[in-house]
Structure 1
Amino acid sequence: MLDKYITPVIKPLLYPVVRLLDKSKVTADQLTVIGFIIGLFAVPLLAFNMWDLALTAIILNRIFDGLDGALARYQNSSTSAGGFLDICLDFLFYAAIPLGFAIANPEHNALAAAVLLAVFIGTGSSFLAFAIPAEKFNLEKPQFAYKSFYYLNGLTEGTETIAVFIAFCLWPQYFAELAYGFAFLAGITIVTRVYGGYHTLKKQTIKQQTSATKNTVKKLQKRKTK
């Protein structure tokens, strides 16, 4: 929900670093992989209750995630392969953080982490499943025109997810409560995405079929006039 407001504010702040990375011949895909590896370090740090260091790893991962796309656009090197790599590693990172908290305190956190992971599957699958037919129908994406594929909005998006990850690290004793609360909000996202995505694609299908029928009628009429 907040991504479309936060992203335009952050993008200009990244440009000085992007220019420096470009001069150093760094590629966007390299940043994606490095950021993912840094993010994964949060798991053992969480497992050993090193909350501050884990939070640092999470924030660095998100900084790299912002830089890789900005660098790709600056270098005019955005590709479907790069977008695919970025989103795959993003979702693996999202899944790794609840796992870290579950390992840190299985008795208190395991069930909440499992619920959160289940909801992440729902938000991720509804998000990605829509992108495929959206590309097929060539749907416009004005809010996220710089992305590799269509983004279906929701109540809980990247900004909200990272905010709750930060909250987890700041108040680890309330992980379960925060996780259940976020899972509830993410559940609303799943419902709205499935409902909105289904009806959007259904309308596009009817529109396409109507257009095809009209074209067929026009061709038949032209044959008759001949």
Structure 2
Amino acid sequence: MIDARLLPLQRRALAPAARFLVARGVSANTLTLTGFGLGVLCVPALAAGWWGGALVFILLNRLFDGLDGAVARLTTPTERGAFLDIALDFVFYALVPLGFALQNPAANALPAAVLLTAFIGTGSSFLAFAVIAEKTGRQSTAFPTKGIYYLGGLTEGFETIAMFIAMCLFPAAFPALALIFAAACALATLLRWGQGWQILGAAPPHPSMTHKPEAR
């Protein structure tokens, strides 16, 4: 919901580190894969009940997710890099509920399944709209540098990570937090359906008015 406001602050904060990495030849794709690998480690940490370690891996994943884009913008953004970034992000978001389900199946499995179902709604509406928007030449004014049309909503990256942090800090509350966030994601999905229906029902922009955004 507030990602568009936070992105300029994030870019300024990460710019020095990104310049440092570029100067040493570190590629954006390397950062993407490293960040995903760190994110995967949150699953065994959560399954073992190592909440502090899981939180560190989640935050490191998000740090590398910001750094890969910052490095890409300083070098040469590619569509392949944007694809890798988006695809791995969606898998990472699903890993956190999985870790909680493994830690306590009796208490957490059903809330985790409900949350994952809600994630399918937000993810599918997001990606389905992006495909059609690209096909018809539409661009996002709120997220002009994203590799695809970034359709915002009630539950975006900031809200998701804030909820993951809360789950790690208060693991016993996971069932309640998961169901609350699942409800928010369901509402976000409904709003995105309506927003997509409205935007795609309007005439697409004239080809001469469009340009290809950055690929990451």
Equivalents in 1 of 2:203, 2:171: separation in Å?
Answer: 45
Structure 1 residue 140, shift from structure 2 partner? 2.6
Equivalent residue number for residue 214 of structure 2? none
Query: Aligned with 1:155: secondary structure?
Result: coil
Comparing 130-139 with 196-205, which one deviates more in the overlay? Answer: 196-205
Equivalents in 2 of 1:119, 1:204: separation in Å?
Answer: 30
Equivalents in 1 of 2:159, 2:29: separation in Å?
Answer: 25
* Deviation by residue 1:51-91 (Cα, 9 ceiling, x = unmatched): 0000000000000000001100011x111111110000000
Equivalent residue number for residue 116 of structure 2? 117
Aligned residues: 206
Equivalents in 2 of 1:159, 1:82: separation in Å?
Answer: 22
Equivalent residue number for residue 101 of structure 1? 100
- Contact in 2 for aligned 1:137/1:204 (Cα 8 Å): no
TM score, norm. by length of structure 2:
0.93
TM score, norm. by length of structure 1:
0.89
Query: Aligned with 1:178: secondary structure?
Result: helix
Equivalent residue number for residue 211 of structure 1? none
Say which structure, 1 or 2, has more relative contact order (CA 8 Å, 6+ apart): 2
Query: Aligned with 1:5: secondary structure?
Result: helix
The question of 1:40 aligning with 2:55 is answered no
The question of 1:170 aligning with 2:169 is answered yes
Equivalents in 1 of 2:5, 2:152: separation in Å?
Answer: 12
Equivalents in 2 of 1:178, 1:7: separation in Å?
Answer: 26
Equivalent residue number for residue 50 of structure 2? 50
Equivalents in 2 of 1:145, 1:186: separation in Å?
Answer: 24
Q: Which has the higher helix share?
A: 1
Equivalent residue number for residue 182 of structure 2? 183
Structure 1 residue 204, shift from structure 2 partner? 2.7
Query: Aligned with 2:100: secondary structure?
Result: helix
Query: Aligned with 2:142: secondary structure?
Result: helix
Equivalent residue number for residue 5 of structure 1? 5
Structure 1 residue 24, shift from structure 2 partner? 1.0
Equivalent residue number for residue 153 of structure 1? 152
RMSD: 1.1
Amino acid at match of 1:31: L
Q: Compare CA radii of gyration and give the structure with the larger one.
A: 1
Amino acid at match of 1:119: A
Equivalent residue number for residue 24 of structure 1? 24
Gaps of 5+ in 1: 209-226
